A and B are shown apart, each in its own frame.
Chain A
Amino acid sequence: MGWDGLKKFVFHRRKEMPDGLWMKCDSCGNLVHKKVVEEKLRACPECNFHFSLTSSERIALLLDEGNLEEYWGDLESIDPLKFSDRISYKKKTADAQEKTGLKDAFVVGKGRLGGIEVIFGVMDSRFIMASMGSVVGEKVTRAAEKAAELKIPLIIVSASGGARMQEGCFSLMQMAKTSAAMARLHESGGLYISILTNPTTAGVMASFAALGDIMIAEPKALIGFTGPRVIAQTIGQELPPGFQTSEFLLERGMIDRIIDRQHLKEELIKILEYCT
């Protein structure tokens, strides 16, 4: 390709970009065709990184007829510490509510998978990184209690930056509360399937998200306790490639399976059929 040819090629590509036909993969950096990404249910055709889904997209993907009978949808944060950094927590919450149409970062209710009734919860990372404050903690706890009461399985799709700093120790205590609720569900004989998606870290990964009877992850998700940047800073060296990914966790025996989004529903139904 001569210079003219190259110029033409680059120009051609650049002309296509603004049309929104192409996107850059967050994981491998390749330019990928959006349509193909959508066909793969938002996965990169090059590296199979799974992009985030909103809570309603996740519900549409997994539940029969995309139907969720939502519970406790009106729970809202009341900013218990009157927290303010550069922006007040009140404003941050209000902005997130406007952007997402949700009251907080966790949507939960009753639905069916392959006809099997379940309590289904999903975190929405558009809402303050789906961090866990009082509302998320309360709803996860109620979900576990409801699953135990109705004697039906609990499925939670996690994606979270961790505890919500703006609620201080109230957030920290949600780790205790949700874990205690999972212990009760376990004692009642209930099934809990935890699905880890990109990213699931810190206080959420160190509580209810880690406590599934079955632990599933989507490919290439970031999963861990401390974020990679903080670890790199602490130890003063670069992290090995693939560190804290789903594949890393599977290799080290921390999770049961990695499942492609395209097969997630059918595999969940298979597990449900074994465990109910």
Chain B
Amino acid sequence: MAQNDGLDFEAPIVELERKITELENFSNIAEVDLSEEIKKLHARANKLKGEIYKNLSPWQRVQLARHPKRPLTTDFINLMFTDFYELHGDRTFRDDKAIVSGFAKIDNHKVMIVGTRRGKTTRERIYCNFGSPHPEGYRKAMLKMKLAEKFHLPIIALINTPGAYPGIGAEERGQALVIARNLFEMSRLRTPIICVVIGEGGSGGALAIGIGDKFAMLENAYFSVISPEGCSAILWRDGSKAPDAAKALKLTAQDLIKLGIIDEIIPEPLGGAHRDSKKTADSFKKVLVRYLTELKGIPLDTLLENRYAKYRQMGQFLEQPAEAVKSLKHKQPINK
């Protein structure tokens, strides 16, 4: 059954919803009026959702971000934009299906979309390499962004990736160098850039299309320097400590807005985006249109100054006000 896709902590809600559907079906078939009971059950389900979703742990958010029914980049393209016109290829190696890019319209704004693509069915997932781009994918994204710059189209980056692909071919074709190049170029592209993490924001592979003037996250997305599993394996030396790692890494939208890393949290319907993609897309679209209107009014030089300043101030450290400059003599050559 499709309910198998659900998460552990969702189970009571799923169970209740199953009962409601059963009752509804029964009342239709038997032609008895059960509307009172059904109404009560709906109320109970809503209360339960409120209780469960108000206090999600970071690990539960990670699970929601990875929910198999969660709307994907392609869903949001369909729900928020019109006239999507896909453009392929990196002009060098091949068309990376883990990146989707092209022209689109949102209200009366013409934009360029770049995003990581994943699938719903196993076949689609394999086709998109589970949303993990290779170097050619990042090059493809950069080419389309340069095109957008040339024709003054704002860029909307939709991010949902477990990370850049860790494989032999990816390393052979310079995964690290290509990511670095994207960070370098995005910091100075002369057109507005809006980035939104819609699901997983996996480290450098997410950042590689994630430098912009606005950076938002959906309510149950996460954005992290390393996956909770990876962090747990390295620092705890125990792969099962992922929930602890998720908490320690401060990777939820709620944590990241407090730390000043992101600009805004885009609300999801109670129970998560997968419970109502349409509703999620509605609030999402409003935010995008607001950003586009705001950014269009800013002169490009100012926009780029602000973008540099935004990233320039990120980081926390201690600096002693005392002697800022001191001379160090390194007297011992190592070959002596």
Residue numbers of A with Cβ under 8 A of B are 38-39, 41-42, 53, 56-57, 59-61, 63, 66-78, 80-81, 83-86, 109, 133-135, 137-138, 141, 163, 165-177, 179-184, 186-187, 201-203, 205-211, 223-226, 230-231, 234-235, 239-240, 243-244, 248, 252, 254
Contacts and interface: CB of A to CB of B under 8 A. Distances in A.
A254 B170 CA distance: 13
Contacts of A138: 315, 317
A254 B171 CA distance: 10
A69 B204 contact: no
Contacts of A223: 176
A243 B168 CA distance: 8
Given A67-B330, A183-B185, A203-B204, A225 B164 contact: yes
Nearest to A107: B328
A248 to B, nearest CB: 8
B166 interface: yes
Contact of A182 (B184, B249, B312): B184
A251 to B, nearest CB: 9
Given A168-B249, A173-B314, A72 B324 contact: yes
Contacts of A179: 180, 183-184, 187, 211
A207 B317 contact: no
Most buried by B among A39, A83, A163, A225: A225
Nearest to B245: A85
Contacts of A81: 248-250
Interface stretch (B15-23, B77-85, B219-227, B293-301): B219-227
Nearest to A180: B187
A211 B261 contact: no
B1 interface: no
Contacts of A42: 334
Contact of B327 (A70, A166, A184, A210): A70
Contacts of A68: 327-328, 330
Contacts of A184: 188, 308
A234 B130 CA distance: 13
A264 to B, nearest CB: 12
A80 B330 contact: no
Interface in B245-273: 245, 248-251, 256, 259, 261
A77 B167 CA distance: 33
A214 B331 CA distance: 29
**A-B residue pairs, 4 tightest by C-beta:** A134-B315, A179-B183, A180-B187, A226-B166
B30 interface: no
A254 B334 contact: no
B326 A84 contact: no
Contacts of B172: 248, 252
B248 to A, nearest CB: 5
B325 A69 contact: yes
Given A169-B224, A210-B181, A225-B176, 19 more contacts: A61-B334, A67-B328, A68-B328, A71-B324, A71-B325, A85-B244, A86-B236, A137-B315, A165-B225, A169-B225, A170-B316, A173-B311, A183-B185, A225-B164, A226-B171, A231-B167, A235-B168, A243-B171, A244-B171
A170 B261 contact: yes
Contacts of B230: 230
Given A169-B225, A173-B261, A180 B183 contact: yes
Interface in B270-318: 307-308, 311-312, 314-318
Contacts of B250: 81, 168-169
A166 B248 CA distance: 8
Contacts of B325: 69-71
B206 to A, nearest CB: 9
A201 B177 CA distance: 11
Contacts, number: 241
A170 B314 CA distance: 7
A165 B211 CA distance: 20
B333 to A, nearest CB: 5
B317 A172 contact: no
24 contacts: A61-B333, A68-B328, A70-B328, A73-B326, A75-B319, A76-B317, A84-B248, A138-B315, A165-B225, A169-B256, A174-B314, A175-B204, A175-B207, A176-B187, A177-B312, A179-B211, A180-B311, A206-B208, A207-B183, A235-B168, A239-B168, A243-B171, A248-B172, A252-B173
Contact of B317 (A41, A75, A166, A182): A75
Contacts of B203: 163, 172, 203
Contact of B329 (A66, A133, A171, A206): A66
Contacts of A85: 235-236, 244-245, 248
B168 A172 contact: no
Nearest to A251: B172
A138 B313 CA distance: 9
A216 to B, nearest CB: 14
Contacts of A61: 333-334
B113 interface: no
Given A83-B248, A169-B259, A172-B207, A225 B333 contact: no
B3 interface: no
Given A85-B248, A230-B166, A240-B168, A66 B177 contact: no
A57 B334 contact: yes
A265 B244 CA distance: 47
Contact of A66 (B245, B324, B330): B330
A211 B184 CA distance: 8
A172 B311 CA distance: 11
